[in-house]
Amino acid sequence: MDFRQARWDEPIIFELGHTGRKGIIIPEVEDEIKKAVGNIIIPEEVLRKSLPRLPELSEVEVARHFMRLSEMSYGIDSGPVPLGSCTMKYNPKLMLKYTEDSRITLLHPLQDEETVQGILEIMYNLQKWLANIIGMDVCTLHPAAGAQGEFTGIVTIRRYHDLKGQEYKDEIVVPDSAHGTNPASASMGGFKVIEIPTFHDGNVDIEALEAAINKRTAGLMLTNPSTLGLFEENILTMEKLVHKVDGLLYYDGANLNGIMGYARPGDMGFDIAHINIHKTFSSPHGGGGPGAGPVCVKNRIVKNDIRLSDIIPGPLVIKGKNGNYRIYMPKYSPGRLRAFYANIGPLIWGFLYILALGSKGLKEVTETAVLNTNYFMKLLKKLGAKGYSLTHGQGRFRKHETVLSAEPLKKETGVTAEDIAKGLLDRGFYAPTIYFPLIVPEALMIEFTDTETKENLEAYAKALADIEKEARRNPLKVKSRPLNVGVRRIDNVKANHPRTVTPSWRVKVLRDKGVIDSLK
């Protein structure tokens, strides 16, 4: 398939349009309302004296502007996005229909609970389903992302030890294959991060773990399957080691798509876990959209009659004796980590996804995701693509994703993981995650998820093999790519320094239009 992406020299929206041009005409606000708003809700002194300098465009200009930008962009609706660790599965449109229903979008977080019983019932059921899926007892839907879920877990671990008089526990153990958010969350929570190496079989180096665990160990954070796409085979041994010193086990649930319906972190001995609704449960993400990172805990006793579920940050939905649902803050909770209850949109999406698939469907999701990864690995082997190697766990089946090292190809041709990523863009694929996990040199981290087609897996494997051939034949050609996309190679240094990328003529236009002054 010959891939070509649109390339528009599209100005920024402030440079388009003409003074006085309008998209929609909003009726004049009646004087009485103006007065009421001015006097009662918005004090006169904070009302703005002049109109904001907004772009002035007709509706058709706005529509065409964003259409052109979208034509230069690439998303899950354009083609495969095998971005490892991110679980970029297709987002079924049916769920969008309901999350955009006005009965949901018009709700306000400050409404009385009696008036939002429907949505609370949905959240209550979602809490129960998620707890069941990962084998935990109580879930809060409060955190806005996986990373915030981790921090929620870390705060819970801190509180657990403080309440037990174990303030001296100040170390969190994290394997070196972990997502960067793990050590970051632990560190934000005031813990020292102890990094453990990965053994060549892809499991955590158990001897190193044994050596690292001591009285000061507050907990362990683990992703299973790991970011290498490999199931941690020593998890039960690890559980014993950590619990022996009264540390807690935190499960990073971002890779749940590799085991859902087949194995549960709760059964592996984890005490706290987060789930990425926007990964495993298909709500859209990327581009900074809202996420949801529910956190679930075991009913583990902290002390006396206090349990883990009594100390977690963030509210839960509970069902009262009268059958009414209400939002409840656990008795010993340190409080909220964000405003209001939770990000309702992605949560409803996840609720509908579980409802639509049922337990059998969720198992099939995992089966297909794992099958896709391993089929792809077989294809690569069949194509004889020797430029890509496996650094850990050779011969083992992968779960939801795989990490290839382009080190052999780089040594031979000078073509790097970044160049390969650009080569994939040129062939109509989104680039994989590159240079992560850090323990794999020239890493290409590939995750097709359950929603990618067999034909696309085959085309992707062939594209990788083609890039390898091109690298041997003409490495400079690979390094000149991408040529077929809307935006070619950017200057990585300048991209980090936005002021140097605005051409001077554009600065002049913006200044003439008064845009620069109004942004100051």
Give contact residues for ligand PLP (rule: CB under 6 A).
85, 145-147, 179, 181, 223, 227, 252, 254-255, 276, 291, 293
Comparison of 147 and 365: residue with beta carbon closer to ligand PLP? 147
In the DSSP assignment, the letter for residue 314 is: S
Which residues contact residue 277 at a Cβ distance below 8 angstroms, ignoring those fewer than 6 apart?
A: 283, 291, 292, 293, 294, 346, 347, 349, 350
Q: How far is the CB of 495 from ligand PLP (least distance, A)?
A: 21
Q: For the CA atoms of 210, 211, 215, 219, what is the dihedral angle to 10 degrees?
A: -60
Q: How far is the CB of 277 from ligand PLP (least distance, A)?
A: 9
Helix (H, G, I), strand (E, B) or coil at 425: helix
Cβ atoms 214, 423 nearer than 8 A: no
| Alpha-carbon span 52 to 244, nearest angstrom | 62
| Alpha-carbon span 219 to 243, nearest angstrom | 9
Question: CB-hemisphere CA count at 13 Å for 233?
Answer: 12
Q: How far is the CB of 293 from ligand PLP (least distance, A)?
A: 5
* Residue 286: closest CA among 431, 444, 188, 400: 431
Q: For the CA atoms of 113, 118, 121, 125, what is the dihedral angle to 10 degrees?
A: -150
Q: How far is the CB of 176 from ligand PLP (least distance, A)?
A: 13
Comparison of 222 and 362: residue with beta carbon closer to ligand PLP? 222
Q: How far is the CB of 181 from ligand PLP (least distance, A)?
A: 5
| Alpha-carbon span 483 to 427, nearest angstrom | 10
Q: How far is the CB of 398 from ligand PLP (least distance, A)?
A: 15
Comparison of 276 and 451: residue with beta carbon closer to ligand PLP? 276
The phi-psi region of residue 411 (left if phi > 0; otherwise alpha if psi is between -120 and 50; otherwise beta) is: alpha
Q: How far is the CB of 179 from ligand PLP (least distance, A)?
A: 3
Q: How far is the CB of 60 from ligand PLP (least distance, A)?
A: 37
| Alpha-carbon span 75 to 84, nearest angstrom | 15
Comparison of 87 and 333: residue with beta carbon closer to ligand PLP? 87
Comparison of 223 and 391: residue with beta carbon closer to ligand PLP? 223
Burial of 90 (0-12, 13-18, 19+ CB in 10 A): middle
Comparison of 328 and 435: residue with beta carbon closer to ligand PLP? 435
Q: How far is the CB of 287 from ligand PLP (least distance, A)?
A: 12
Comparison of 85 and 140: residue with beta carbon closer to ligand PLP? 85
Comparison of 252 and 452: residue with beta carbon closer to ligand PLP? 252
Comparison of 179 and 410: residue with beta carbon closer to ligand PLP? 179
DSSP secondary structure of 34-97: HHHIIIIIS-GGGS-SS--------HHHHHHHHHHHHHT---TTTS---BTTS------HHHHH
| Alpha-carbon span 120 to 124, nearest angstrom | 6
Select the residue whose beta carbon is closest to ligand PLP and give its number. Answer: 146
